Chain A
Amino acid sequence: MGKPPIFRLFSLLLIFTLLFTACAPAAAPAADGGAPAEEAAAEGDSAEAAPPPATGGEASAPDDGAVQIPEIEEGKFNVAFVYVGPVGDGGWTYAHNEGREYVETEMGDEVHTAYLESVPEGADAERVIRNLARNGFNAIFTTSFGYMDPTETVAEEFPDTYFVHVSGFKSNGANFGNLFGAMESMKYLVGMIAGARAAADGSNRVGYVAPFPIAEVIRHANAAALGMRQTCPDCQLDIRWIFTWFDPDLERQAAESLIEAGASVVVTGADTPGPVQVAGEKGVYGVGYDSRNACDVDPEHCLTTPYWNWGPIYAQIISSMMDGSYVGGDQYFDVDSGGLGLLGFMDGQEPMAGVPEEVIPQVQELLSQMQAGEFTRFDVFTGPINNNKGEEVVPAGESLTQSDLEGIDADLGATLGRDGCTFCMSWLAEGIVPDAEIPQ
């Protein structure tokens, strides 16, 4: 039997595969079906785009697997970002990467940045974060909820390195803090716009594409419902849970399902602008999310997009680290920080064509109050608030606390040294269709 030289080919192929996965700033879909691949890309002077040395330098441990840990630049303050998705997702990670590029542009003389994308949450993340710290990065930003515990663990091992975790709730009062922003305020304004539109269309129905039944998503949907009721007291917010942040086909399907059930505006809480496209195809209106160009897919049928503007926030945090004043704690920024945007209503922007005339001054007025710090996330969630069955959940005169907003119960609160929640974010606000429920 003439045996083919399979082993030689096998190893050739493996090398081939590894080479490509190591150089390409990309990933197989982390979505349910595919095997997630981890990739790395070093960003710095453009000449460095070529593949870095195969082992990643003497500092990196052999257990890196396929991940190429980027190198630091001597003489600068080195900052690394760990992303859960690809920078090309056009949404969540894309917005973070824009923030990183802002830092590079504004502070490039003193600060060097690098990033790792599509890093799976869990054990892999911990190894990646640890190797970044070991390579000498001064600060590491981890930008997904699932990185919380790994970041905490590594922060204990490297007390001289700063760690900032986005969208979580843990911190250690020293070198490890968390960071998030009051997107709910923007969703409230989105609700006002969507409600006005649905009222003008006579449908009185708005749809919401909800990724996961977690406090963050529930908070955003509730804020949208409350805002909607401001401009359209008869409107109802229909909701579809899709159990994923990123699935272009499923996001579109959810939007279609909402429109077929009567919605004339679809607001998405997921990553791609697909729902806005669907709205355009069906001749109704959509609202995007995450990054400021979500409306570009169909400006005529897009009302607005609430987006994250991480750049100034990152720059401010990095400055405070460089002068040694940063103390890791709970940092939750409001609209007045400049870290949040609403397309069509920020400086130098015009409202999109589909926004009803009469709601524009209302939104502008409230937005300027938010920018002045006079209207915050706590004002969005001030009683009386009923749930979608008509029962009162927040009495008149009461406001939600931070723990309420984040749904942190007494047990968890005790471990964090915070008060637990009383009106925990586990209810759907009035305005959401009465028979909708939160999946358990």
Chain B
Amino acid sequence: MAFLINLLSAGIRSGTAILFATVGEILAERAGVLNLGVEGMMLMGAVTAYGVAYSTGSAWVGLLAAAAMGGLLALLHAFVTITLRADQVVSGLALTFLGSGLSAVVGAPLVEVAQAPRLPAFNIPLLADLPVLGPILFQHNVMVYIGFLLAPLAWFYVFRTRPGMELRAVGEYPAAADVMGVSVYRTRYLYVVVGGVFAGIAGAALSLAITPLWVEGLTAGQGWIAVGLVIFAGWNPLRAALGSYLFGAIRRLPLDLQNVGFFLRNPTYGYFMNMLPYLFTIAVLVIGSREAMRRRVGAPAALGQPYVREERGK
């Protein structure tokens, strides 16, 4: 039982950064804009958060700065892909390169900074004392708790509110949304930027709470995993939460298994187990790239297509 508690608790904590990034990407893709720059935005968010938290002495200011940085980078992507109608894949990749490189340059002096303020970790009163559920869910840092709220709120927003409906309409059939008086450009701009804000927050969650330090390449590929998880989640924030936590647990599992029993103690299986997260991502991307499959799993129909007013819809 202790084994399961530790595993799930670690999975939830470790999956939290991915959750923020995934939900952000879901919002952007729901509006019809693919943003492969998540990794870059997360890195810039992480380094901004760490640097600002260190120089101001407040982790919360660092978090805000990271959110702004993520939003700013996403704005660049929005301008290039929505206004200039450039290829979304190319622009997103460029954003990741930009973020990786730039975060290394600005972050170079921060490598020597061993301790920046961290976001607080605390137990939720009463709930934390529950058997089993307490240690799994309620003994974490503040970003984990915000993550708990984020997924249902995002789900409610997307599927049960009017702005959420407009968001989905813009991603599914922008011409119709336009006719109905929804500004396609404004909506897309808005959600691409919001997606960037979440990616920036995801980076801050890493550098200020989950892996609280700054080294180059801190995210170690988590931004790409978030992009993959969007498809696994079927563009649904609730399933994104499930996927993120599951992913966190899958990463931890091979390590804990090295301590259990004869068969599992033999870490030869570790190579395979360590492959799982990436196999998972590849499988999801392969499935997601097939048109028929995409329909089945609920991809926004206009995803990846620039919108030109009065051009015939496809």
Query: Which residues does A use to contact B, with CB under 8 Å?
Result: 1-2, 4, 6, 9-10, 13-14, 16-17, 20-21, 23-34, 37, 39, 85-91, 94, 213, 238-243, 246-250, 252-254, 256-257, 260-261, 271-274, 277, 293, 296-298, 435-437, 439-440
- The 20 listed contacts between A and B (C-beta, < 8 Å) are A1-B311, A4-B86, A9-B86, A10-B87, A10-B90, A14-B94, A20-B102, A23-B101, A24-B102, A26-B104, A27-B104, A30-B217, A34-B39, A34-B221, A89-B111, A248-B206, A254-B255, A298-B115, A436-B258, A439-B267
In this complex, how many residues of chain B approach chain A with their Cβ under 8 Å: the count is 64
Q: A-B pairs with the 9 shortest C-beta distances?
A: A33-B221, A26-B104, A24-B101, A296-B114, A29-B217, A88-B216, A86-B216, A4-B85, A248-B211
Q: Which of B94, B108, B262 has the most CB of A within 10 A?
A: B94
Asked if B258 and A27 make an inter-chain contact with CB atoms under 8 angstroms apart, the answer reads no
**Inter-subunit contact B265/A94 (CB<8 Å):** no
Contact status A277-B221, CB under 8 Å: no
A238 to B213, CA, bound (A): 26
Q: Are A6 and B86 in contact (CB under 8 A)?
A: yes
Given the contacts A20-B98, A37-B97, A437-B265, A86 and B104 also touching, CB distance less than 8 Å: yes
Complex: how many Å from CA A68 to CA B210? 35
Interface membership of chain B positions 12-45, coded 1 if the CB is closer than 8 angstroms to chain A and 0 otherwise? 0010000000000000000000000001000000
Knowing A2-B311, A94-B111, A272-B215, say if A241 contacts B270 (CB, 8 Å). yes
Taking CB atoms, residues of chain A closer than 8 Å to B222 are: 33, 249
With the chains together, A370 CA to B67 CA distance in Å?
52
Contact A257 B256 (CB under 8 A): yes
CA distance A103 to B35 in the complex (A): 44
Residue numbers in A under 8 Å from B112 (CB-CB): 293
Q: Closest chain A residue to B105 by CB distance?
A: A24
State the majority secondary structure of interface residues on B: helix
Besides A21-B97, A28-B217, 18 more A-B contacts (Cβ < 8 Å) are A10-B90, A13-B86, A24-B102, A26-B216, A33-B278, A37-B100, A87-B216, A94-B111, A239-B258, A249-B210, A249-B211, A253-B251, A253-B252, A272-B213, A296-B115, A437-B268, A439-B268, A439-B271
Known A33-B221, A293-B114; contact A26-B105, beta-carbon cutoff 8 A: yes
Residues B221 and A250 in contact, CB atoms below 8 Å apart: no
Q: Contact check, B212 vs A277: say whether CB atoms are below 8 A apart.
A: yes
Q: Nearest residue in B to A251 (C-beta to C-beta)?
A: B211
Specify which chain A residues have a CB less than 8 angstroms from the CB of B210 in the assembled complex: 249
Which chain B residues border A25 with CB–CB below 8 Å? Answer: 104-105, 108
A260 to B218: give the CA distance in the assembly, Å: 24
| B84 part of interface (Cβ distance < 8 Å) | yes
Considering only residues 248-303 of chain B, those with a C-beta below 8 Å from chain A are 251-252, 255-256, 258-259, 262, 265-268, 270-271, 274, 278, 281
By a CB distance below 8 angstroms, the chain A residues around B90 are 10, 13-14
Q: Which A residues touch B100, using CB under 8 A?
A: 24, 26-29, 37
Query: Considering only CB atoms, which chain A residue lies closest to B255 in the complex?
Result: A257
Q: Which residues of B contact A39 (CB under 8 A)?
A: 101
Contacts of B244 in A (CB 8 A): none
Minimum C-beta distance from A18 to chain B (A): 9
Give complex CA distance A246, B274 in Å: 14
Give, as a whole number of angstroms, the nearest-CB distance from A69 to chain B. Answer: 18
Cα(A85)–Cα(B217), bound, Å: 10
Residues of B within 8 A of A26 (CB): 100-105, 216
Q: How many A-B residue pairs have CB under 8 A?
A: 195
Q: Smallest CB–CB gap between B8 and chain A, Å?
A: 13
Q: In the assembled complex, which residues on chain B have CB atoms less than 8 Å from the CB atom of A254? A: 255
Q: A274 — nearest CB in chain B belongs to which residue?
A: B211
Q: Most chain-B Cβ atoms within 10 A of its Cβ — which of A1, A243, A257?
A: A257
- Cα distance A81–B107 in the bound complex, in angstroms: 22
Residue in contact with A253 in the complex, picked from B2, B10, B39, B221, CB distance below 8 Å: B10
Residue of B nearest to A247 (CB): B220
Contacts of A239 in B (CB 8 A): 258
- Judge whether B187 is part of the interface by a CB distance below 8 angstroms: no
User: Which residue of B has the minimal Cβ distance to A256?
Assistant: B10
B146 interface contact, C-beta 8 A: no
Answer whether A440 and B268 are a contact pair too, CB < 8 Å, given A24-B102, A28-B100. yes
Contact A439 B10, CB 8 Å, known A13-B94, A20-B102, A249-B251:
no
Complex CA–CA separation, A247 to B252 (angstroms): 13
B6 at the interface (CB under 8 A from A): yes
Contact (A273, B213) CB under 8 Å given A253-B10, A439-B271: yes
Asked if B225 is an interface residue, CB under 8 A from chain A, the answer is yes
Taken residue by residue from 73 to 86, chain B's Cβ proximity to chain A (1 for < 8 Å, 0 otherwise) reads as 00000001000111
Asked if residues B271 and A257 are in contact (CB atoms below 8 Å), the reply is no
- State in angstroms the CA–CA spacing of A28 and B39 once bound together: 9
Expressed in whole angstroms, the Cα–Cα distance for A440 and B84 within the complex equals: 53
Check if B221 sits within 8 Å of A238, measured CB to CB.
no
In the complex, what residues of A have CB within 8 A of residue B10's CB? Answer: 253, 256
A87 contact set on B, CB distance < 8 A: 108, 216
Residues in A neighbouring B80, C-beta threshold 8 A: 9, 13
A240 touches B94 (CB 8 A): no
